[in-house]
Chains A and B, each alone.
Chain A
Amino acid sequence: MRRRLRDNSLGLVFGGLFLVVLGLQALAGHADFNQRQLTEGLPPISLGRYVTSASFGADVAENWQSEYLQFFLYVVLTVFLIQKGSPESKAPGQSGLESDKEQKIGAYAEEQSPRWARTGGWRTRLYSNSLGFAMGVIFLGSWLAQSIAGAAAFNEERLGDQHDPVSWARYLTEPDFWNRTLQNWQSELLAVASFAILAIYLRQRGSPESKPVGTPHTATGIEG
């Protein structure tokens, strides 16, 4: 049991931290929402009502979509793009989908290879892109959720300001939707770009996200 926990500690710790931070976000968001309610002469709402509100939903989904967009782009673009010296990049000259032999699929699959890597045909093609596909689908689903919850939250504010509500389609053209979207995208893209470049020159001893400390700056695709 203890060994199992240790062998899965990365996923468990991040999953646990996610739940804790989501709970803290709910508490802070609830307090913020109620501050605005009181400012407008309206009564505070319960925490239960807040966590099922469009306001909370939009705040959560807008961050989810950008994170999954980041991973989707990172997974897919690192197939083709190179950053010389970065442990996150393949070595120059290796860009592309690589051969079946290098990818251990079809006739080159090993005994322990996943079944769909061995079968060939559409299953292997699908499985060969399943990570990027999953990230892309979750990104689109979260972005859709952001747009639906965001439209409802936006309309709640509009009614409070004595404006007519807008349709979901109209909301997609509103600055509020694109401001929420783009402010998250830019931060994710900055994080990826800076990580790919800083990892050329800086090290984190023992981390698989870093090159080993003594590895030259010019070495590409080597993880510690």
Chain B
Amino acid sequence: MIRSVLAGVTALALLTACSPAGGREQAADEVAERLYAALGASDGRAACDLLAPDTAASVADDQPCAEAILDEDLPDQPGRVTRTAVYGQQAQVKLAGDTVFLAAFPGGWRVVAAGCTARGGGRPYDCELEG
């Protein structure tokens, strides 16, 4: 009885908190890198395809997203991925020159916020691009 309860508790913790995130981390890295590759190639349409719907709508305030995103004040040289964190439906990809936040969608990760700068003092990141 005790053994089965302990096994249940351990399985619960492992199942809920330690499920393999390696593949999901890599997928999040790739989306962040593809965003900056598209922006580097001035391919606004490809960049907008990687945004979460609310974020894309926020970018396309005055003009179409594919044009507006190229005017956003995002880093020209975001650099390579330095650290990735994935928890449930949310991810954070830290690049040498930027921090990108993503969320899980049926087709994969989408960018929720980019061009983010840490503010400290317990306040959230200040992001150029967000929904």
Instruction: Give the CA-CA distance A161 to B124 in the complex, in Å.
Output: 7
A53, B54: Cβ atoms closer than 8 Å: no
User: What chain A residues lie within 8 Å of B23 (beta carbons)?
Assistant: none
Instruction: Give the CA-CA distance A20 to B48 in the complex, in Å.
Output: 45
User: What chain A residues lie within 8 Å of B53 (beta carbons)?
Assistant: 41
Q: How many A-B residue pairs have CB under 8 A?
A: 103
Instruction: Give the CA-CA distance A137 to B92 in the complex, in Å.
Output: 36
Instruction: Give the CA-CA distance A163 to B17 in the complex, in Å.
Output: 19
User: What chain A residues lie within 8 Å of B5 (beta carbons)?
Assistant: 138, 141
**Which one of A41, A53, A162 lies within 8 Å of B16 (CB-CB)?**
A53
Q: Secondary structure of the A side of the interface?
A: helix
A159, B85: Cβ atoms closer than 8 Å: yes
B88, A55: Cβ atoms closer than 8 Å: yes
B6, A138: Cβ atoms closer than 8 Å: yes
B13, A57: Cβ atoms closer than 8 Å: yes
**Which one of A60, A151, A163 lies within 8 Å of B124 (CB-CB)?**
A163
Q: Nearest residue in B to A42 (C-beta to C-beta)?
A: B103
B16, A149: Cβ atoms closer than 8 Å: yes
Given contact pairs A160-B103, A162-B125, A148 touches B9 in the complex (Cβ within 8 A):
no
User: What chain B residues lie within 8 Å of A151 (beta carbons)?
Assistant: 17
The answer, yes or no, to whether A153 is at the interface (CB within 8 Å) is: yes
B87, A155: Cβ atoms closer than 8 Å: yes
B 91-129 binary contact with A (CB < 8 Å = 1; else 0): 110000000010111100000010010100000110100
Ranked 8 nearest A-B pairs via Cβ? A57-B16, A159-B90, A41-B54, A145-B13, A156-B88, A156-B87, A162-B124, A152-B17
Q: With A42-B103, A137-B6, A148-B16 given, can you name 16 additional A-B contacts, CB distance below 8 Å? A: A54-B17, A55-B88, A57-B13, A61-B13, A64-B9, A141-B10, A148-B13, A149-B16, A149-B17, A152-B17, A155-B85, A156-B88, A161-B124, A162-B113, A162-B130, A165-B85
